[in-house]
A and B are shown apart, each in its own frame.
Chain A
Amino acid sequence: MAERVETESGPFCYAIGLEVHAQIVSSSKLFSGASTAFGADANTQVSAVDAGMPGMLPVINMACIEQAVRTGLALGGAVNRRSVFERKNYFYPDLPQGYQISQYQQPLVTGGQLVIELEDGTSRSIGIERLHVEQDAGKSLHDRDPDHSLVDLNRSGIGLMEIVSLPELESPDEAVRYVRTLRSILRYAGTCDGNMQEGSLRVDANVSMRRPGEGLGTRCEIKNLNSLRFLQRAIEFEGHRQATILDEGGTVRQETRLFDVDANETRSMRSKEDAEDYRYFPDPDLLPLDLDEAWIAGIAASMPELPDARKQRFMSGHGLSSYDAGVLVAERDNADFFEEVARGRDSKQAANWVMTELFGRLNHDGIAITDSPVSADALGGLIDLIVDGTISGRIAKDVFAEMFATGRQAAVIVEERGLRQVTDTARIEALVDGVLAAHPDRVDEYRAGKTKLLGFFMGEVMKASQGRANPQAVNRTLCLRLEAEEGTR
């Protein structure tokens, strides 16, 4: 929701636009056949093209373009039949060609929107200006050698999608929600793994402040935010910094800033005057990228289900609440997990177990769902034991805890520990009779009208059965015994 920064002279509003760099999921790089695997030894995933060797030429990898088109369609953008790769010229050791091949005047996708859900449950549509495709740079390593900086070109040439929003985000929280939603869509589309830690999703934030109702102010760009937390903190700091300047009657200088994580502040990197002149011009090594309408239509026809559609399906098909459905679809892996658990089972029960028990434990231990010690299949097995009366819901929680700790199957744990629910009438009657006999005073009180004591008897019987007695059977037997004895009196 829109957030204001209060100053002595009155409030200021945020206007935030985000540029998200998303690494394209593809087995090979944007302009060469080299592998894109993350985490390989330095400079082992490099072709002569990626290293900018003399005479080497780029060739467009259409698999990357297909991914970018899919993303553009997922964001409701218009895929341009013709787009042009241009060279962005600047010198840096991790940029082997001395230029980055990017798109400038004619991007692959124009327009689009992203709907974000706000804290109060309402939603807002954020406009997307463009999506263009470009190559990633390598990495400079400054801490491996005391006297030199080293360069790792494994990342050099990997395909990136730059997704540029309009400056329509109105709070740091909205910015975070935008990135989270975008990341979810990218993962659903299978076009970016969205892993901010590994750098496959990076965010630049353009932040400006203005008085309510006024036009856009001067913006500053904060570069390379690689976590949602830093994104939020950087925008907050920057918003307050600019508001303070404006409050004191000063003017904000347009500039590029870096977020210092340790100091929790943004710092000037270069001003607009010092900005590099990138001398963009169409890359003469590449022809304009002309896409066939039918080819684009083919991608549109094979789009995977996106989060919004899935949420609707979870609500209408599985009968989940909007909130539960929203939580489950936010991450594709979570939703996949839920669907597997729910297959052939009661959806609400499945949702409950996934969201309350499983997510609770995973969050607590900081484990990703893809690494969950309890598989969807195993969790389904546990639910089956509850449904067929083998164990009670309460015992099931203990069983789940053990499953989570050991990774073993529910049925095995139940058998080994003898946790099978007691449903045998004679055994339950014996347990009930034992409890009633041990508490004659309470029985009298009950019969005198203090019927709330039923809960006490229930608890005692369950305790006596070590939780294994079938609660419904116990309840039924208790009522029969207490009423019947009274009747004979």
Chain B
Amino acid sequence: MTALTDLTIAGARDLLAAGDVSAVELARAHLAAMERHRDLNAFITETPERALELADASDRRRRNGDAGRLEGIPVAIKDLFCTKGVPTTAGSRILDGFRPFYESTVTASMLREGAVMLGKTNLDEFAMGSSNLTSWYGPAINPWRAPGDGRVRVPGGSSGGSASAVAARMAMAATGTDTGGSIRQPAAFTGTVGLKPTYGRCSRLGIVAFASSLDQAGPLTRTVRDAAIMLGAMAGHDPLDSTSADEPLDDLEDTLEAGVDGMTIGVPEEYRVEGMLEVIDELWQRGIAWLEDAGATVREVSLPHTRFALPAYYIIAPAEASSNLARYDGVRYGLRCEGDDLVSMYERTRAEGFGAEVKRRILIGTYVLSEGYFDAYYLKAQKVRTRIADDFREAWTSVDALLTPTTPSAAFAADSPPDDPVSMYLNDVFTVPASLAGLPGISVPAGLDGDGLPLGLQVIARPFDEARLLRVARTIEEAAGFDTAPRSQT
């Protein structure tokens, strides 16, 4: 029998149903893995006691013939989701000591479906980053290393702790959030599957906000099927989130194996950016060949405003963030650094509570919303956003899904990250356009680069067409035959 920590959700589900394994056994195995892999710093808060209680309750429910979709499945929760009674940090010092008295809609739904929460995973501070290097709790680390190199690699970000936990088999699955690529990019870096659903698919209520018009929760898993199972438990209309969509979600597992025969897949020419690494282009071509072999028609499409996506994103997201993060003022919860008067209390609290990247984005956001600059930046960026969405709409008239690389490179070394913020932001170049358009996207592990580090392919689909998205992803997964077990030099 495979190790319990190597099980997929689908596999564990069968064993649990057959009574061959208990939720408590699964929880114990994963808690032990968490201890073994503490060096990866994937978790900010571990909740072993709670996990065992939840697992025990799950086993009792099952004995009573009552099993939810995630019954007994050990999962990790990105520390951006508010969890009742459990510290929620957003990877920031400013939320020091904060324990929500409420549960996010997504995690509440997962708990209702029987999920066993193992702990809260590390992330870039307030989900701002592509490396996990901005966490106040220190960076999470990628379990993958390049054979022959041995340097510590970043797991990507911002959902880096979740990606690391799933890749290293500390959790069977994890939640992430994706604003400009924060699920897909770390999934690509860690050889895992990362699904960002359509904007509005999962409720944002109880998720610490970064950029409200872009933030979307989704799963990180080791298989496409597991992503489908997770999404089924996470998604749903929430009347308490005005931007949550009242769209039906069919059982995604039903159509998962339906293949791509007869589908038309688009390859956006604008994604073939200047200076693209050869290994990325080769992977992309392999992906095209796999889909064609499976019966799909692949054709080039044009998304002419693609090159404006990244600049627009880095105006809109910081603008919203600058306002969303105003509530962290030391008055009601979290860190407070006393000052001589109100203003100095604000200044000291925010100066000491926020890290450099968060401050940078608050400054950018404040600037682009300021009187005299609003039209030139924020308003213009919104217009660009509309054009980008129009580009995709046009593409959907001729194709069913789009295939692109997820990232421009594999995971970089933690000790030599891109040396300026803009280079770092370029990590999101392939993921941001779909975010701006609110479209569902998924990264599927599809191969290794020259250093032996994982690479992902991204599929993008029409709004609320996660079913087709997953069919394409499943086809790639099958063709790639990627082994998700991290190979590290030890």
Query: Taking beta carbons and an 8 Å cutoff, which residues of A are in contact with B?
Result: 48, 51-60, 87, 89, 91, 93, 96-99, 149, 151, 277, 279-281, 284-287
Interchain nearest-CB distance for A96 vs B (Å): 6
Q: Which residues of B contact A96 (CB under 8 A)?
A: 327, 331-332
Interface contact B205-A55, CB-CB below 8 Å: yes
Interface contact B326-A93, CB-CB below 8 Å: no
Residues 215-259 of chain B: 1 if any A CB is under 8 Å from the residue's CB, otherwise 0? Answer: 000000000000000000000000111110000000000000000
- Of the A-B pairs whose beta carbons lie under 8 Å apart in the complex, a sample of 19, sorted by A's number, is A54-B95, A54-B208, A55-B82, A55-B204, A55-B205, A57-B204, A57-B205, A57-B242, A59-B242, A60-B242, A89-B326, A98-B323, A98-B329, A279-B374, A281-B369, A281-B374, A284-B213, A285-B209, A287-B242
Separation of A284 and B324 alpha carbons in the complex (Å): 10
Question: Is there a chain A Cβ closer than 8 Å to B159's Cβ?
Answer: no
Q: Which residues of B contact A286 (CB under 8 A)?
A: 242-243
Q: Which residues of A contact B82 (CB under 8 A)?
A: 54-55
Question: Is there a chain A Cβ closer than 8 Å to B371's Cβ?
Answer: yes
Separation of A59 and B319 alpha carbons in the complex (Å): 21
Q: Which residues of B contact A91 (CB under 8 A)?
A: 326, 329, 346
Q: Which residues 349-394 of B sit at the A interface, judged by CB distance below 8 A?
A: 366, 369-371, 374, 378
Interface contact A277-B370, CB-CB below 8 Å: yes
Interface contact A279-B242, CB-CB below 8 Å: no
Separation of A279 and B212 alpha carbons in the complex (Å): 16
Minimum CB distance partner of A94 in chain B: B331
Question: Is there a chain A Cβ closer than 8 Å to B171's Cβ?
Answer: no
Interface contact A93-B331, CB-CB below 8 Å: yes
Known contacts A281-B319, A285-B242; A52 and B370 CB within 8 A of each other: no
Q: Which 10 pairs between the two chains have the least Cβ-Cβ distance?
A: A98-B326, A284-B212, A279-B369, A284-B213, A55-B206, A52-B327, A54-B208, A55-B82, A98-B327, A277-B371
Interface contact A87-B332, CB-CB below 8 Å: no
Interface contact B208-A55, CB-CB below 8 Å: yes
Number of B residues near A (Cβ < 8 Å) is 43
Q: Which residues of A contact B100 (CB under 8 A)?
A: 53-55
Q: Which residues of A contact B207 (CB under 8 A)?
A: 55
Minimum CB distance partner of B333 in chain A: A53
Candidates A53, A55, A281; contact of B323 at CB < 8 Å: A281
Minimum CB distance partner of A89 in chain B: B323
Interchain nearest-CB distance for A89 vs B (Å): 5
Separation of A281 and B333 alpha carbons in the complex (Å): 26
Interface contact A54-B240, CB-CB below 8 Å: no
Q: Which residues of A contact B243 (CB under 8 A)?
A: 284-287
Question: Is there a chain A Cβ closer than 8 Å to B475's Cβ?
Answer: no
Question: Is there a chain A Cβ closer than 8 Å to B41's Cβ?
Answer: no
Q: Which residues of B contact A280 (CB under 8 A)?
A: 369
Interchain nearest-CB distance for A393 vs B (Å): 63
Q: A52-B327, A55-B207, A93-B329 are known; give 10 further A-B pairs, CB within 8 A.
A: A57-B204, A59-B239, A91-B326, A93-B342, A98-B326, A149-B342, A151-B331, A279-B370, A279-B374, A286-B242
Candidates B206, B323, B331, B374; contact of A99 at CB < 8 Å: B323
Interchain nearest-CB distance for A391 vs B (Å): 63
Question: Is there a chain A Cβ closer than 8 Å to B121's Cβ?
Answer: no
Q: Which residues of A contact B333 (CB under 8 A)?
A: 53-54
Interface contact B323-A54, CB-CB below 8 Å: no
Question: Is there a chain A Cβ closer than 8 Å to B211's Cβ?
Answer: yes
Separation of A287 and B212 alpha carbons in the complex (Å): 12
